[in-house]
Structure 1
Amino acid sequence: MSGEAGLRAMRPPEVPVNIAAPDLRRWLPGNAGIPGVWTFAAEAPGPHVAITGIIHGNEIAGAVLLDRWLEAGILPARGRLTLVFGNLEAYARFDPADPTASRFLDEDLNRVWDPGVLDGRRRSAELRRARELRPVIETVDLLADMHSMLWPSDPLILAGVPEKGALLGCAIGVPPVVVSDAGHLGGRRLIDFPRFAGEGPAAAVLVEAGAHWEPATVETMEQAAARLLRHAGQARPEDPLRPGAPRGPVRRALVTRTVTANSRDFAFLREFRGGEVIGPPNALIAMDGEEEIRTPHEDCLLVMPMPLVPRGHTAVRLARFLG
């Protein structure tokens, strides 16, 4: 998920685009006074649930999901359901011939959700969009932010620090690994916004549903979103929500170290896949200039290692399973 834009001066892998980016022109006006935001209220009271997609403009699987649900007329049985197309400007520049180039325009929309940043004087296309979306985000009770990944990795759910996020991830259960982490040094994600990271009941998760441009990633997103609606009591029997495979056991993990590249010479010792577990403790997995990067404990879960990482970006998160 993270860092494609920093790779513009590097050589990201050539990955085929096996899904089509939907034409969003009919959805751009929205119905909530905010472009690309659609909200639907039921007569029965209930929570405000939100599904967000294309927070990164090249993660088009999220647009496929939201386009599919709007076309199908999915509505909540109770409460309110809001569907949010995130970085519309970056998405409009998506080009299958250069699919990593449209992650964002000026800065990462998933690193600006700090109130101090949102209330500050800094200007960018992404901050303008975050400020535009903020009023609706501040009313959401349960949120699933849909993402996909460039580098090979098993799908997972990121839950942030609060236990309520992890519990929401476990209730969704697709993908079946829920990782609690503190985010990135580069800025706060949407799930780290105080509405969700604070002491109140509102909770959010980030669903890393699979490889960027694969049909299976869309299906994982749809299963996760449908399970969120069922968890919130919003699913209607007449809506075509895909049940997916029966849910297996959910595993939880806690990030014990977030490795940020401090030099331009960061390199893993070999190719690692996200979701790989390194058995022995103190195993050498990477070099950051002269610094050795070792696993801090046995059975160390590698969370989304990034082989080509710009300095100052997250290279990998190291986690241990709970229970």
Structure 2
Amino acid sequence: MPDRDALPPALAAILAGGTLAGLPRLDVRIARPELDAWRGGNVMPGVWSFAADAPGPHVAVVAATHGNEIGGAVVLDRWLRAGLRPARGRLSLVMANLDALGRFDAEDPTASRFIDEDLNRVWDEETLSGGRRSCELRRARALRPLLDTVDLLLDLHSMLWPSDPLMLAGRSARAARLARQVGLPPLVVADEGHAAGQRLIDHAPFADPDGTRTALLLEAGPHWEAATVAMIEVAAARLLRLAGTVAEDDGMLAPPPAAPPAPARLARVTRTVTARTPGFAFLRPFRGGHVVPQRNTLIALDGEDEIRTPHDDCLLVMPSLRAMPGQTAVRLARFVDD
């Protein structure tokens, strides 16, 4: 264990019960859309689904799985107001945690992540079919019949801690291939999920290695920023065009890039670090996307345990600078060749 007198001041402050310097400012630079027009849905509350005459896949775009991540809801609101409809197949636009989204308050913007529990940690069969009750489980069970008919799903998220945008593909090789083809953002991360519970992209129909249904999770950038909304819109539009759901020249979406983006780079998680103690702390406030050149570099302390990089050129995926026990603190990943 390093001598704590020699640690950086920010880390020493945390280990002494203080707070980390350099926390992100919680400035809300976008407004939550008015939900009254969309709250009722045409399938169920918060869910709008439209079918084309021409056959094609059922594509779902899901926003506000976390109620404080309002960027995706801004994009769905724009599309619904514009009258977006599929040219082929079916398009479903889902405001997932409608109750939490309705409680969003720019004066306390982190408070509405969920009502009772994280909606993105309940998608395993035992939890969905078990006897536990919560606002989020009630919503997941209501959404499940629709989502189980979806061929391609994009779950829209944003980030509290500073990080470059990325696409999460979970364990599915076909999801990683599709995310690379989308090319936006230019980084795809294949991972095993969280110890605290299964995400929507880990739901069995999407994670089945022998299946065909595919789900991606977009982490588009910082919460409450216009640039994050722009990333959501351009990446989602790219996916809808690739799926053939909308025409290439559909003017209701963000315009396609002048040239198709290059395939995104793929990184595979080699270790998911789950905080074990309240004293988990990084040696410095790492940004997501930071690459540590040398293996065995000390990056964090968890009580008496040292967290070190397991290999050279170790990518830090979405480090959480205030991880509580049981929460994912960081994922460590290795870039993989084509």
Pick one of 228, 242, 246 that aligns with 2:254: 242
Amino acid at match of 1:202: R
Q: Distance in 1 between matches of 2:153 and 2:250?
A: 23
Pick one of 24, 32, 46 that aligns with 2:35: 24
Q: Which residue of 1 aligns with 2:223?
A: 212
Distance 1:80-1:210 versus aligned 2 partners, 3 A rule = same
Pick one of 316, 325, 328 that aligns with 1:314: 328
Q: Which residue of 2 aligns with 1:297?
A: 311
58-67 vs 226-235, which moves further: 226-235
Matched ranges for 1:1-323 at <5 A: 13-32=24-43, 34-198=44-208, 199-236=210-247, 237-243=249-255, 245=257, 246=259, 247-323=261-337
Cα deviation, 1:155-190, whole Å, max 9, x if unaligned, reads 000000010110121122111100000000000000
Q: Distance in 2 between matches of 1:94 and 1:210?
A: 19
78-87 vs 162-171, which moves further: 162-171
Measure how far apart 1:240 and its partner are.
2.0
Q: Distance in 1 between matches of 2:99 and 2:267?
A: 35
Q: Distance in 2 between matches of 1:31 and 1:249?
A: 36
Q: Distance in 2 between matches of 1:264 and 1:88?
A: 31
* Residue correspondences, number: 313
Q: Distance in 1 between matches of 2:40 and 2:77?
A: 13
Q: TM-score, normalised by structure 1?
A: 0.95
Q: TM-score, normalised by structure 2?
A: 0.90
Amino acid at match of 1:74: L
Q: Distance in 2 between matches of 1:167 and 1:135?
A: 26
Contact persistence 2:180–2:263 (CA under 8 A): no
Measure how far apart 1:249 and its partner are.
4.1
Q: Distance in 2 between matches of 1:185 and 1:42?
A: 40
Cα deviation, 1:242-292, whole Å, max 9, x if unaligned, reads 135442341000000000000111010011000000001110000000000
SS of equivalent to 1:95? coil
Q: Distance in 2 between matches of 1:73 and 1:159?
A: 30
Measure how far apart 1:195 and its partner are.
1.0
SS of equivalent to 2:55? coil
Contact persistence 1:168–1:204 (CA under 8 A): no
Cα deviation, 1:39-92, whole Å, max 9, x if unaligned, reads 110111110000000000000001101000111111111100000001011111
Give the alignment's Cα RMSD to 1 decimal: 1.2
Q: Distance in 2 between matches of 1:101 and 1:14?
A: 15
The percent of aligned pairs where both chains have the same amino acid is 61
Cα deviation, 1:272-313, whole Å, max 9, x if unaligned, reads 000000001110000000000000000000000011111110
Contact persistence 1:74–1:239 (CA under 8 A): no
SS of equivalent to 1:293? strand
Contact persistence 2:181–2:263 (CA under 8 A): no
Q: Distance in 2 between matches of 1:122 and 1:163?
A: 32
Displacement over 4 Å in runs of 4+: 10-13
SS of equivalent to 1:208? strand
SS of equivalent to 1:26? coil
Q: Distance in 2 between matches of 1:58 and 1:238?
A: 30
Contact persistence 1:301–1:318 (CA under 8 A): yes
Q: Distance in 2 between matches of 1:306 and 1:259?
A: 10
Contact persistence 2:175–2:216 (CA under 8 A): yes
Q: Distance in 2 between matches of 1:101 and 1:167?
A: 35
Contact persistence 1:223–1:243 (CA under 8 A): yes
